[in-house]
Amino acid sequence: MLFFTQCFGAVLDLIHLRFQHYKAKRVFSAAGQLVCVVNPTHSLKYAPTRCAAAPASTEQGLLPPCHHREAVHDPQLVPCTCPLFSCPWEGHLEVVVSHLRQTHRINILQGAEIVFLATDMHLPAPTDWIIMHSCLGHQFLLVLRKQEKYEGHPQFFATMMLIGTPSQANNFTYRLELNRNQRRLKWEATPRSVLERVDSVISDGDCLVLNTSLAQLFSDNGSLAIGIAITTSKVHSAEAEM
C-alpha cells in the first residue's frame, strides 16, 4: 500500500513539474530554449567569507589568499574554496564542478540559451536557487539568492559566475532576462569568477537586484522564470578577428 502511495506521489510531482515546464515555455516562447525547474536549496545560515580568514591547511598544502590565486599558471590548478555558503570544501578549480554536482547535487545543463525556473519564491530568506550551465567550452554557475540585506526586507540577487579565473571570465558576457505582465528587465554583465565567491558579489551589489514587489510582478504562481544567455564578449571577439 505504501509503495502505491509513493508511486502516486511521484506521478503527482511529475505532473506538477510538467505543468511548470509548460508555463515557462509559454513565458519564453523562443524555439529551442531549454527550461530547467530549479528547486531551492536548504536555507542555511551564512558562514563568514573565508577569503578574510587565515589560509587553511589542506591536502594540497597552504592555500594562498584569494587575490593571489592567479599566480598559478595552469587555471585548472588554481586553488579555490566552494563558492556556496556554509561549505568548508577546499580544492582546485578542476574539481569544483564535480564537488558541486556530488556534494550539493547541483544540475548541469547544456545549451546557449536556457530558462531557469525558480520555484517556491515565498520561502523565507536566506534561500538559494542554483544551477550550472555548460556552454562555449566552460561551466558557469547561476545563483539566485533571497537575502535580507535590510532586516525585514528580503531582496532577490541573481548573478552568473564562471568556474574559471577572473581573466577567463572577462571573455564572456551573460544576460539575465525577466519578462512578464508587459514588463521586461534585462541585466547584462561580464561574469565574475567563482574564485570571488557569491557572498562578495552580492554584498558589492554587482548583480541583478529585485525587491519583493518587483519579484512578485515577474513571478507566476510562486515561480520566477529567468532567461539566461551567454556569449563571448565583443572585446574578445574583436581581438580574435584581428
**Does 205 contact its own copies by CB under 8 A?**
yes
Taking CA atoms, 154 is separated from 30, 75, 149, 179, 211, in Å, by 32, 36, 7, 21, 7
Taking CA atoms, 229 is separated from 37, 74, 195, in Å, by 16, 27, 21
d(CA 133, CA 90) in angstroms, rounded, equals 22
d(CA 211, CA 228) in angstroms, rounded, equals 20
d(CA 76, CA 120) in angstroms, rounded, equals 36
Looking at residue 235, its amino acid is V
**Residue 105: CB minimum distance to its own copies, A:** 32
**Residue 182: CB minimum distance to its own copies, A:** 5
- Of 189, 220, 223, 236, the one binding its own copies (CB under 8 A) is 189
The window from 28-36, 57-65, 121-129, 201-209 that contacts its own copies (CB under 8 A) reads: 201-209
Per DSSP, which regions of the chain are E strands? 34-38, 57-58, 61-62, 79-81, 90-92, 108-110, 113-118, 127-135, 138-150, 153-162, 172-180, 183-189, 192-193, 208-211, 224-232
**Does 108 contact its own copies by CB under 8 A?**
no
Q: How many chain residues are in contact with its own copies, going by CB under 8 A?
A: 25
**Does 211 contact its own copies by CB under 8 A?**
yes
**Residue 203: CB minimum distance to its own copies, A:** 9
- Of 11, 13, 47, 204, the one binding its own copies (CB under 8 A) is 204
The window from 8-16, 100-108, 116-124, 148-156 that contacts its own copies (CB under 8 A) reads: 148-156
**Residue 160: CB minimum distance to its own copies, A:** 12
| Coil, strand or helix at 110 | strand
**Does 120 contact its own copies by CB under 8 A?**
no
- Of 27, 209, 223, 236, the one binding its own copies (CB under 8 A) is 209
**Residue 95: CB minimum distance to its own copies, A:** 30
Nearer to its own copies, 67 or 149 (CB): 149
Which positions touch its own copies (CB under 8 A)? 149-150, 153, 173, 182-190, 204-206, 208-214, 217, 233
